[in-house]
Amino acid sequence: MDDDVVLSAPLFATMEREETARLFESMTQIELARGEVLFREGEPGDRLYVIGEGKIKLGRRSNDGRENLLSILGPGEMFGELSLFDPGPRTATASAVSEAVVHELGHQQLVAWIETHPGVATHMLNALARRLRRTNETLADLVFSDVPGRVAKALLDLSHRFGETTDEGLRVAHDLTQEELAQLVGASRETVNKALADFAARGWVRREGRAVVLLDLERLERRAR
């Protein structure tokens, strides 16, 4: 595992390496198989998680069974903090998109950590503020942007987290099925598929199963605006 990625999480920011290592060691490590659910929306929860390896999806389900994905998170990112800071049920279901390793921290441990290291709170607020900013943008896109625009934006967003530079372009191994990609964009699988096929026909992307290579970032960025 890449400890450095985990130790760069907001939870550990600006801390002395030894202290950080001690907290990290006190966290419980949980291994998840693809598709495994860590916790469900509505359950009580008082634990925070930091991703060590793999990808975690956060999703909500409507009363009629439709699913919407709020976010796909990768190594170094945290989740589960909402029910911890604002005691109440989990606001989303967390499950593994790929094999994953997460590190769990309990409420008492976190409170003690923040009390002795107030700087950590600033970093966590920063991460929460970034998340709210992004959520507001997604909300506006759902109202103001068309599906191809949202698909372009989702691909660019995933590329910031999971993109790898190759000779051909930016390869994004998102590990999502077509259905999951559609749930992330908030549209039907058919419409999302059509947008992707159109991008591929224009030479902006190349599709590769559960990955996509972004060939023309400039055009995609323009389409995402």
Q: Is 82 or 211 the residue whose CB approaches ligand CMP more closely?
A: 82
**Inter-residue contact 50 to 11 (CB < 8 Å):** yes
Counting Cα atoms < 13 Å in the Cβ hemisphere of 117 gives 18
CB neighbour burial string for 171-185, b if at least 16 within 10 angstroms, e if fewer: bbbbbbeeebbbbbb
Residue 45 near ligand CMP by CB under 6 A: yes
Figure out which of the listed residues 117, 131, 153, 171 binds ligand CMP, where binding follows CB under 6 A: 131
Euclidean distance between CA atoms 4 and 21, whole angstroms? 10
Residue 91 near ligand CMP by CB under 6 A: yes
In this structure, the number of other CB atoms found within 10 A of the CB of residue 1 comes to 11
Counting Cα atoms < 13 Å in the Cβ hemisphere of 153 gives 21
Figure out which of the listed residues 14, 28, 122, 135 binds ligand CMP, where binding follows CB under 6 A: 135
Tell me how far, at minimum, the Cβ of 210 lies from ligand CMP, in Å: 21
Binding segment (CB under 6 A) for ligand CMP, from list 23-31, 91-99, 100-108, 175-183: 91-99
Binding segment (CB under 6 A) for ligand CMP, from list 29-37, 75-83, 154-162, 187-195: 75-83
Q: Is 56 or 172 the residue whose CB approaches ligand CMP more closely?
A: 56
The residue type at 161: R
Residue 80 near ligand CMP by CB under 6 A: yes
Q: Backbone phi, then psi, for 61, in 5-degree steps?
A: -120, 135
Task: Please name every residue paired with 100 in a beta bridge, in sequence order, or none if there are none.
Answer: 32
Q: Backbone phi, then psi, for 2, in 5-degree steps?
A: -90, 90
Residue 95 near ligand CMP by CB under 6 A: no
Tell me how far, at minimum, the Cβ of 2 lies from ligand CMP, in Å: 21
In this structure, the number of other CB atoms found within 10 A of the CB of residue 198 comes to 14
Comparing C-alpha atoms, which of 26, 131, 16, 30 is closest to residue 78? 131
Residue 90 near ligand CMP by CB under 6 A: yes
Binding segment (CB under 6 A) for ligand CMP, from list 25-33, 86-94, 180-188, 211-219: 86-94
User: Measuring CA to CA, how many Å separate 155 from each of 17, 91, 224?
Assistant: 35, 24, 9
Tell me how far, at minimum, the Cβ of 120 lies from ligand CMP, in Å: 16
Figure out which of the listed residues 27, 50, 70, 156 binds ligand CMP, where binding follows CB under 6 A: 70
Q: Which residues contact ligand CMP (rule: CB under 6 A)?
A: 45, 58, 70-71, 79-83, 90-92, 94, 131, 135
